């Protein structure tokens, strides 16, 4: 399978084949996921100091914070499939 990348803000890219889920960061369980990832050195902050609008969970266990909303990333993933 050929690797495809999706831009998640500020020219940061993630491998779209490795994304499990893209979710909003507002709920308490997701905040715990972010905290656990940070404690285990699996957190990647791609917000460049901006507000986190989505959380991307990768199949490797890494958690990526993005300044783009989940719907925007969904649209980019759908466009990337073409």
Mean pLDDT for the chain overall? 95
For residue 63, give its domain range. 5-80
Would you state the pLDDT for residue 1? Answer: 72
| pLDDT digits 0-9 by tens, 44-82 | 999 999 999 999 999 999 999 999 999 999 999 999 876
Residue with structure tokens 């972010």? 34
Question: d(Cα 60, Cα 75) in Å, to the nearest integer?
Answer: 23
Number of domains the chain contains: 1
Question: d(Cα 59, Cα 69) in Å, to the nearest integer?
Answer: 20
Going by C-alpha positions, the residue among 77, 71, 9, 7 that lies closest to residue 46 is 9
Residue with structure tokens 């084949």? 17
Distances (CA, A) of 54 to 5, 22, 25: 17, 7, 6
Would you state the pLDDT for residue 80? Answer: 82
User: pLDDT category, 39, cuts 50, 70, 90?
Assistant: very high
Would you state the pLDDT for residue 15? Answer: 96
């Amino acid at each position: 399978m050929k690797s495809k990348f999706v831009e998640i803000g500020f020219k940061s890219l993630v491998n779209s084949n490795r994304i499990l889920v893209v979710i909003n960061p507002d709920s308490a369980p997701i905040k715990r996921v972010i905290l656990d990832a940070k404690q285990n050195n699996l957190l990647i902050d791609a917000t460049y100091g901006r507000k986190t609008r989505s959380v991307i969970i990768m199949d490797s266990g890494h958690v990526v914070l993005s300044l783009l909303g989940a719907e925007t990333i969904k649209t980019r993933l759908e466009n990337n499939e073409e």
